[in-house]
Amino acid sequence: MPFAPIPKSLADLRRVPHLGNYEEARRTFSWEAARAELDGLPGGQGLNIAHEAVDRHACGPRRNKIALRWLGKNGESRDIRYDELGESTSRFANVLDQLGIVAGDRIYALLGRIPELYIAALGTLKHRSVFCPLFSAFGPEPIRARLQIGQGRVLVTTPELYTKKIAPLWAQLPDLEHVLVVGQPPAAGPAIHDLRALLERASSKYRIPPTDPDDQALLHFTSGTTGTPKGAIHVHAAVIAHQATGKLALDLHDEDIFWCTADPGWVTGTSYGIIAPLACGVTSIIDEADFEARRWYGILQDERVSVWYTAPTAIRSLMRVGTETAREYDLRPLRFLASVGEPLNPEAVVWGREAFGRPFHDNWWQTETGGIMIANYAALEVRPGSMGRPLPGIEAALVETLADGTIREITCPDEQGELALRPGWPSMFRGYWNEPARYAKCFASGYYLTGDLARRDADGYYWFVGRKDDVIKTSGHLIGPFEVESLLMEHPAVAEAGVIGKPDPVALEIVKAFVVLKPGRIGDAALMRDLLGFGRQRLGAAVAPKEIAFVESLPKTRSGKILRRLLKARELGLPEGDVSTLESA
C-alpha cells in the first residue's frame, strides 16, 4: 500500500470523541434514540428543523452564544447570537405570512453568503415553506430551469443579481409572485420588495405551527446525465441526521468553532453550513469571500476554528501554495479536518499532517442522501484515499444491476460495484420534484442506488472508483452534460455538442465540450471565443465549458445517443473499449 494507514492516539483527539468505538456505536445506535436527543416542537406538535437549529437554543442556555459569525469580503464582520437569530428568522416567517405565502410554497434564494441568506433559509423552515437555494454564480439558464421546475413563488436575491439575472427572465416564470431584495429595490412594482424594510416592520415573535416530520422542508437541485435538473426533496426529519452526523462524523462539541466552507447553493452548504452546526449548538463561521489561501489561513487562525469542513479543490490549492505558508499561522485550536465534494486524493490526506499536524478526514454523501453516509472518524484510523466506513444507522452495500433489473450484492473484498444504501435514514430524499418515475428508478431490490462506483476492502473501508453515468464532477459540484449540450446547441453555429468531464489536477474534472459546427461555419479562434462567452453568459462560469474543441463528428450509438464515454477515452488516449454499438464503427 503506497499510503500507510494513519493511526490515531488519544493524545491526537483533545476531546473525548462522540464516536470512540466504531463497532459498538453501530451496535447501539438507533434513529429513534437520535430523534430523542432533539426537543421536538413544544406540546408534542411535531418536528421542525428551525426549532431544533434555532428556537430551542434561543430560549435556552445558549441564547447569548454566537450562532453565526459572518465575515464580509471587505473586512467587516457581524456576530449573530442564537436569540437574535431566533428573532430575525421569526420576522422572516412573518413576512412570508404577510405576503400570503403558505406551508409548502417554494421560497428560493439567489444570494451570496450574506446573513440574509441564513435568515431566509431558517425563516422559511419556521414557516413550513420549502427552501430552495440557488448557487449565485449560476447563469440565467440554470436559474430559469430550477425556478420553473420547482415553481418558486418567492425569490430572495440582491438588487445586482436581480437586475442581471432575474429581470430578463421573470416573464418566463409565471409562478414567481414576489422578489425580496436585500438592498434598495432596483425597480418599482407591487411584486418587488425591500426585504430589510419588511423584516424591520415585521414582528419578532413567531410560533412555529405544528410540523409533521415528513413535511417537505428543502429542495436541492442536482444533475443527471440526461434531462432537466432534478429537485431532490428533503423533509423536516432530516434534522435528526444533521445533528447525529454533526456529532458522529464531524465530532462537533459545544465549545467548537466550526467552519464549513461550502456555499449554501449546494447541499453541503445547507446541511452542514447552516443546519447541522446550529442543531449541535456550536458557533459557525461564514465567509462571504471566495477562496484565497492567505485569507483562509487568516480566518482559521483569527477565528480559532477547531473543526473545519472543506473541499478537495481548496485543499489541493492550499497544497500548491506550500506548507511554509500554513506554518506562518497559529492554527493550534484546529483539531479536526474533514473534506467532501469529490474523493480526496491520498497525497492531500497526508499533507494535512504535514501542514496542520492532523490528516484530512474524507467523507462521502450526495444531494439525495441529505447528510454524511460514509466517513473517516476522529477516533479511527484514516486510510488515505478511502471515504471511510458507513455511519452508525447507515447500511451500505456494493451491488451489480442484472439484466432483469434485479441486483446482486457484491460481498468479495475489493470487487467493484455500485454503491447502494438501505433506505430508512431520516435525511433521505423523498422524491424528485414532480418526477415520481425518475425517483422510482433510483431504487431496486430494497436499495437506493447512488450512481457512484466503489469498492470495499477486507476491513470494510470504502474506496471511490468513479461515476456510473456521465455526470461531471467539478470543484465539488455535479454538472449534467445534457444541460450544457442543450445550451450550446442553441448557438447558431452549432450543429451538435458532446460534453465530458476532463480530468484536472485541481478541480478533479473540468467541463469540456466537443462541438460539431453547421455546414459552412469555420471553427476559428473568433468562433471559439464567441462560443466560450456564449456558454458563460447563459450558464455562468460554474457550469459553462472551460474548453471547447471543434470536431467533424461525434461518436454515437446506433440509436443516435452520443457516446460521451468514448469522447472521454479519446481525450485521455485510452483504449476505446467495445465499439460494436457504434454508428461509425
User: Which residues in this chain contact other proteins in the complex, by CB under 8 A?
Assistant: 73, 137, 139, 290-295, 313, 317, 320-322, 325, 474-475, 504, 506-507, 510, 529-530, 532-534, 536-537, 540-542, 546
Residue among 196 and 546 whose Cβ is closer to other proteins: 546
SS3 call for 467? strand
Residue among 302 and 409 whose Cβ is closer to other proteins: 302
Residue among 529 and 558 whose Cβ is closer to other proteins: 529
Residue among 151 and 317 whose Cβ is closer to other proteins: 317
| Measured distance CA(451)–CA(458) in Å, rounded | 22
A 10 A CB-CB count for 570 gives 15
Please state the closest distance from residue 107 (CB atom) to other proteins, in A: 25
Would you give the distance in Å from CA 572 to the centre of its chain?
28
Please state the closest distance from residue 337 (CB atom) to other proteins, in A: 20
Would you give the distance in Å from CA 265 to the centre of its chain?
7
Please state the closest distance from residue 84 (CB atom) to other proteins, in A: 28
A 10 A CB-CB count for 164 gives 14
- For helices 312-321 and 346-356, give the axis angle rounded to 10 degrees: 60
A 10 A CB-CB count for 292 gives 13
Q: CB–CB of 89/54 below 8 Å?
A: yes
Residue among 128 and 316 whose Cβ is closer to other proteins: 316
Please state the closest distance from residue 253 (CB atom) to other proteins, in A: 31
Residue among 8 and 295 whose Cβ is closer to other proteins: 295
Please state the closest distance from residue 473 (CB atom) to other proteins, in A: 13
Residue among 261 and 386 whose Cβ is closer to other proteins: 261
Residue among 3 and 291 whose Cβ is closer to other proteins: 291
Please state the closest distance from residue 537 (CB atom) to other proteins, in A: 4
Please state the closest distance from residue 119 (CB atom) to other proteins, in A: 23
Going by DSSP bridges, is the β-strand pair 447-456/417-421 parallel, antiparallel, or unpaired? Answer: antiparallel
Q: What is the DSSP string of 293-334?
A: HHHHHHHHHHTT--EEEE-HHHHHHHHHH-HHHHHTS--TT-
Q: What is the DSSP string of 490-508?
A: TSTTEEEEEEEEEEETTTE
Largest Cα–Cα separation, the chain: 72
Please state the closest distance from residue 527 (CB atom) to other proteins, in A: 11
| Measured distance CA(183)–CA(158) in Å, rounded | 7
Angle formed at CA 450 by CA 445 and CA 453, multiple of 5 degrees: 105
- The H or E element that residue 419 is part of is strand 417-421
Which residues does residue 456 pair with via DSSP β-bridges, in sequence order? 462
